[in-house]
Structure 1
Amino acid sequence: MAPLDTATRGGETPMPTTTDDPVRGLPAWTYRNAELLDLEYQRVILGSWQIACHANDVRQPGDYFVLELMRDSVLVLRGDDGVVRAFANVCRHRGSKLLDGTGNCPKAVVCPYHGWAYELDGRLKGVPSERSFPGLDKATLGLREIELEVFFGFVFVRVARPEDHQGPDSVAETWGDFAEHLKPYRLEEMERIEFGDDMVWDANWKVGVDNNLENYHIPLGHPGYHRMLDNQMEGFENAHGVAGSISTLKQRPSSNWVERMYQKLAPTVLAAYPEQLRKQWLFFTMPPNIGLDFYPDCVDYFQILPLGPTRCQVRYGIYGHKDERREMRLLRYLNYRINGKVGEEDRWLSERVQQGLASHGYDPGPLSRIESSLRLFHQQIREACPVASLDEEPLPGTVRQRDAELLAAE
């Protein structure tokens, strides 16, 4: 399939251009209510595919990577047989967390509390003072395995299979034909680049997702992008909610030296790529909370996870092909400077929205057709948690009850 451009996009659905009635966003109370967040976590986050790492982050037997969700910790581990698996990062004895961060445990996963040891395929291997556990059946006490799918080298996990699930069941099915557009980047061969830090924003996770789902804010919110790129505002999407947009390096040099240098270098550094890809920044979002960004020099993911009603964690992973050329190192440094600034701008914008949503009497305004993906995200939240459709915030302690009533009435 040819690289994406604004004329041919391989059969995807353009953003709708008309609407009969104004579509409005979620009520303000849904961005600060702890009881609703519990429902969203159970019904949206746990039942969706979440990116954990890249397969090359766990290249050798015993290599591991831990993904921290709001209440769940997921251990991605490569076994002695070369297979990458995911487990609940919890000892089957007394519930202690097993591992943190990333590293290697060459022989076994050992609980730091009482020393229960697990094989690299999750089986329970050893129990100190085993005779003190009458009738112990080690075969039934292995680590709880979690669904895992490797998609173009990236490791996705799903903690809980959603009930009454409709639509595609795998990451590959979710992306559908859009996967063809990822092939030129040879993502499976990429390795993590050692810069890029996670951030904590003082904003509800949905505020961050809303911001990531639309380009309407770019001209004012990201002046650097506006100077150096021709940004596609409306974008395109497939039937399963994966949405994309294209930005192309402008021929007119930016007034900022970092952006201007990137514009100059990018088309020349990667001669192996088609010419169009050397000038193109391709942005994809995957429901409910993941962004994948494709640049000539690297690829990153951008994942927004809830920490509390008004706090979220923004995870970054940056990957590229092994290339020690001076010009590539420079290009990636420039990219880091540019997108590091964009990340700070997104944080500032999102925290201002969170502050504004607390204002007395605020009602959500109409959404533009440019915000089509945001509309679909809000629809997903309303379908998963019908109580989020209520204009008025339920009384404290009644959110689950009201939600159950609405579900029963459907």
Structure 2
Amino acid sequence: MSIRDPENADVRREAVHGLPAWTYDNSELLSLEYERLILGTWQVACHQNDVPNPGDYMVFDLMRDSIAIVRDADGTIRAFHNVCRHRGAKLLDGRGTLRRRLLCPYHGWAYALDGRLAGVPAESTFPGLDKNCFGLNTVEHEVFLGFVFVRVAGEGPSLAEMWGDYAKLIEPYRPETMVGVRPMIDQVWNCDWKTAVDNNQENYHIPMGHPGYHRMLDSGMGGFGNSFGIGGSVSRHKDRPSPNWVERMYQDLAPKVLTHLPEEKRSTWQFFSMLPNHGIDVYPDSMDFFQILPLGQGRCQVRLGLYGQADDRREMRVLRYLNDRINRMVLAEDRWLSERVQKGLRSHGYNPGPLSIYEDGVKELHDRVRAACPVTTLTVAPAPGTVAARDAELAAAG
């Protein structure tokens, strides 16, 4: 959950409002957002240790695109469009280990782990076929803070440039050596992807929406952010023990179990956001990524992977069990809140209200949406079938 510091000298003084309600429930706009805000930005696919050995793969599915992350025979991580170059069949699903090749389930075209087309059944029936021209299409990728990110289309700054010095806040936890500590959560929420991201961009709702966090953490409303859309906030355990036994036990155990961390870090929770649709949360015992992807009109996909240092101590297992209980409740609360907002956005009685300075992370997201899709500046939805054309008109008008 990311916010901006209201004490900052550059804080805005004017009133601002969010996006109009129609922009949260329009399939034509969703297509534009997918092309301009998702495919052209860095998207986390997995952790590098989700594919630790040669032949290991993991598939990352977006709304219309599928990416295969593969560790090749030399141990190099590669990213490919997960589609056969022959007739377009999807090659892989889920995660697993390949022996030597990726084999198309349709006609048996075979690809080496580095993407080269290695075999074609009945090759003589393809006159003039040059296998060198039909390897798997690659996808731009970077490994950053241990995570494998892909950028399907377009170009822009590297992840290191975007994060800058904020990465130093995470590096002491050695994220590159972490491993998955439980299966990835993958959910479908009945709300627009922006509704869910809005919720993740501010701490204003914590006292009301997340009573557990409010009981155990000193969650300030202020935070930090930069021009690349990286923002965050820092929370610490309250001195007063929580009345809830799960939260109270975590507060008590963390400083005793996590002796490899500096004392202050044992009670510190850090929440980062990466626009347009990511969160990275660093807990004393583990670290997660939180990703919100468009899935369809009024629906989004939420992926959450949790990672930590390999540690089989009983007390660490207990600590992570407590963390999981706390944050599964937070996830359920966020889902309930986001789906409740989505229902309200469809009401004829709603017009966008003013945004608090505590919600400037929401404002930043909305500014990016307006810049990428000028049609979202319209207070009333264009007639069905005309959204793309109206967007083009507004873009041409400047």
Both structures adopt the same fold (TM-score exceeding 0.5): yes
CA contact (8 A) 1:258 1:338 kept: yes
2:389 pairs with 1:401? yes
Matches within 5 A, 1:349-364: 349-364=337-352
2:247 pairs with 1:259? yes
2:309 pairs with 1:309? no
CA contact (8 A) 1:193 1:318 kept: yes
The one-letter code matched in structure 2 to 1:142 is G
CA contact (8 A) 1:293 1:301 kept: yes
Residue 180 (structure 1) shift: 1.2
Q: How many residues align?
A: 395
CA RMSD of aligned residues (A): 1.5
Query: What residue in structure 2 maps to residue 90 of structure 1?
Result: 83
Map Cα deviations across residues 121-163 of structure 1 (whole Å, 9 max, x no partner): 001000000001111111000000000000021100000015x
Residue 361 (structure 1) shift: 3.9
Quote the Cα distance in structure 2 between the aligned partners of 1:332 and 1:219.
Answer: 24
Query: What residue in structure 1 maps to residue 225 of structure 2?
Result: 237
Query: What residue in structure 2 maps to residue 4 of structure 1?
Result: none
Residue 299 (structure 1) shift: 0.3
CA contact (8 A) 1:53 1:65 kept: yes
Quote the Cα distance in structure 1 between the aligned partners of 2:28 and 2:61.
Answer: 21
CA contact (8 A) 2:184 2:303 kept: no
CA contact (8 A) 2:217 2:237 kept: yes
Quote the Cα distance in structure 2 between the aligned partners of 1:158 and 1:402.
Answer: 27
Quote the Cα distance in structure 2 between the aligned partners of 1:19 and 1:56.
Answer: 42
2:71 pairs with 1:78? yes
Query: What residue in structure 2 maps to residue 213 of structure 1?
Result: 201
Query: What residue in structure 2 maps to residue 150 of structure 1?
Result: 143
Q: 1:172 aligns with which of 137, 143, 160?
A: 160
Unaligned residue ranges in structure 2 (runs of 5+): none
2:105 pairs with 1:117? no
Quote the Cα distance in structure 1 between the aligned partners of 2:9 and 2:75.
Answer: 45
Residue 18 (structure 1) shift: 4.2
Q: 2:41 aligns with which of 19, 27, 48?
A: 48
Quote the Cα distance in structure 1 between the aligned partners of 2:7 and 2:300.
Answer: 30
Query: What residue in structure 2 maps to residue 132 of structure 1?
Result: 125
CA contact (8 A) 2:46 2:58 kept: yes
CA contact (8 A) 1:98 1:109 kept: yes
Please state whether the residue corresponding to 2:322 is helix, strand or coil.
Answer: helix
Query: What residue in structure 2 maps to residue 3 of structure 1?
Result: none
Query: What residue in structure 1 maps to residue 21 of structure 2?
Result: 28
Quote the Cα distance in structure 1 between the aligned partners of 2:312 and 2:8.
Answer: 40
Higher relative contact order (CA 8 A, sep 6+): 2
Unaligned residue ranges in structure 1 (runs of 5+): 1-11
CA contact (8 A) 1:15 1:369 kept: no
Quote the Cα distance in structure 1 between the aligned partners of 2:319 and 2:49.
Answer: 23
Query: What residue in structure 2 maps to residue 337 of structure 1?
Result: 325
The one-letter code matched in structure 2 to 1:148 is H
The one-letter code matched in structure 1 to 2:311 is D
CA contact (8 A) 2:288 2:307 kept: yes
Moved over 4 A (4+): 12-18
Map Cα deviations across residues 192-237 of structure 1 (whole Å, 9 max, x no partner): 1124521111000000000000000000100000000100212111
2:314 pairs with 1:326? yes
Q: 2:335 aligns with which of 347, 362, 365?
A: 347
2:321 pairs with 1:297? no
2:37 pairs with 1:61? no
Of all paired residues, the percent bearing the same amino acid is 61
Residue 364 (structure 1) shift: 0.4
CA contact (8 A) 1:13 1:237 kept: no
CA gap 1:61/1:336 in 2 versus in 1, 3 angstroms: same
Query: What residue in structure 2 maps to residue 5 of structure 1?
Result: none
Residue 17 (structure 1) shift: 6.7
The one-letter code matched in structure 2 to 1:230 is D
CA contact (8 A) 1:192 1:318 kept: yes
Please state whether the residue corresponding to 2:60 is helix, strand or coil.
Answer: strand
Return the TM-score normalized by structure 1.
0.94
2:93 pairs with 1:100? yes
The one-letter code matched in structure 1 to 2:290 is F
CA contact (8 A) 1:191 1:319 kept: yes
Query: What residue in structure 2 maps to residue 9 of structure 1?
Result: none
